[in-house]
Amino acid sequence: MPSLATMASSILPRSSLLPSRHLRSVRAFPSSFQSCLRFSLSRSACVASSSYSTVAADRSRVDISRESIDSLMEVVHAAAKRGAEVVMEAVDKPRNIDYKGKTDLVTDTDKRCELAILELVNSKCPDHLILGEEGGVSGDSSSPFLWCIDPLDGTTNFAHGYPSFAVSIGVLYKGRPLAASVVEFSGGPYCWITRTFTASAGGGAFCNGNKICVSNSDTIEKSLFVTGFGYEHDEPWSTNIELFKEFTDISRGVRRLGAAAVDMCHVALGIAEAYWEYRLKPWDMAAGVLMVEEAGGIVTRMDGGDFTVFDRSVLVSNGHLHDKLLKIIAPPSKLLIQKGFDFSRWYKPEGYALDF
């Protein structure tokens, strides 16, 4: 198989790419703000001790050079930026809403954003495989690269003008997250702002170019959590309502913001300690899980098993709390499996090969 270096040099003309320092050059906050929130921790402080070996974390088997990953990152970054421009153009205008289900919305902005992203990805990486939330699978299924694109994560929030939505793009290599960018929208009507999260395998996680790190909290009582609830209101949904209740009782609180990619970036940023949800899709998770791991956190399924983006549950944490959280979250999750709820992998494009 050709290396990414070879592929990248043919598909990514150097002249059309941003200089790699561009990704790390933007400073959004004064350094005093960062240090006050412990954001300036060194990378070595970003490695959580854990007995978990998540699939995405095993970098030893990624046979790609750093330079090639950086070239790919430039395209991922440019694609997320392009998507964010489409969303920003629409954000204070009337919405055009359709329904995928009773409460599952889609707007014309979701669709236009995905098309803009696809145009860029197809022009730079024509032989990669793509899984977009709105457009489904396209491209070459024999490619080791799979782009998981959520053009608008948090569509309900976007439809209401409620802050917390994002453009989220994660690229897998043989099934493992390799490169990611999430552009988070916050603020609100007439004062929208964005911040950009980026991460690459073995290269760390960044927010507006600043290296980020999960929090140090190792006590549930002193922690803030985030979770989410899908559109299907059955037993797994009720199980998470119970978990929501229990953690609200024993922690500083559980937030429900409504955009999975943003929630995971908040764990990576160290402003929340953990996030979990049942039955997300690969496009909801591919970017966020890499962000958390590269910020020093841990990712598993909610029953404690090894995670892939095709799994139907995810628990991301700062690492220090992972065992304590699983003591509470794993038993009801295992019970759902015993009861016959389908937690097998889903949305893996036919023919796409995983190396695990």
Question: Was 284 annotated as part of a binding site?
Answer: yes
For ligand IPD, the closer CB: 158 or 352: 158
For Ca ion, the closer CB: 199 or 287: 287
- β-strands 224-227, 210-211: how paired? unpaired
Residue 258 interaction partner, one of ligand IPD, Ca ion, none, beta carbon < 5-8 Å per kind: ligand IPD
- CB nearest ligand IPD: which residue? 228
> CA 336, 342, 346: angle at the middle one, nearest 5?
135
Find the shortest distance in angstroms from Cβ 110 to ligand IPD. Answer: 8
Find the shortest distance in angstroms from Cβ 47 to ligand IPD. Answer: 28
Is the C-alpha dihedral spanning 241, 245, 250, 252 positive or negative? positive
For ligand IPD, the closer CB: 174 or 301: 301
Question: Was 133 annotated as part of a binding site?
Answer: yes
Q: How far apart are CA 127 and CA 105, in angstroms?
A: 31
Q: Which helix (H) or strand (E) holds 341?
A: none
Contact 337, 329 (CB under 8 A): no
Find the shortest distance in angstroms from Cβ 4 to ligand IPD. Answer: 29
The contact set with Ca ion (CB under 5 A) reads 133, 150, 152-153, 284
Question: Was 269 annotated as part of a binding site?
Answer: no
The contact set with ligand IPD (CB under 6 A) reads 150, 153-156, 228-230, 258-260, 277, 280, 284
Q: Which pair of tokens denotes residue 78?
A: 């440019």
Find the shortest distance in angstroms from Cβ 280 to ligand IPD. Answer: 6
Contact 227, 241 (CB under 8 A): no
Backbone phi and psi for residue 28, each to the nearest 5 degrees, phi listed first? -95, -25
Please state the residue numbers annotated as binding site.
Answer: 133, 150, 152-153, 284
Please state the residue numbers annotated as binding site for Mg(2+).
Answer: 133, 150, 152-153, 284
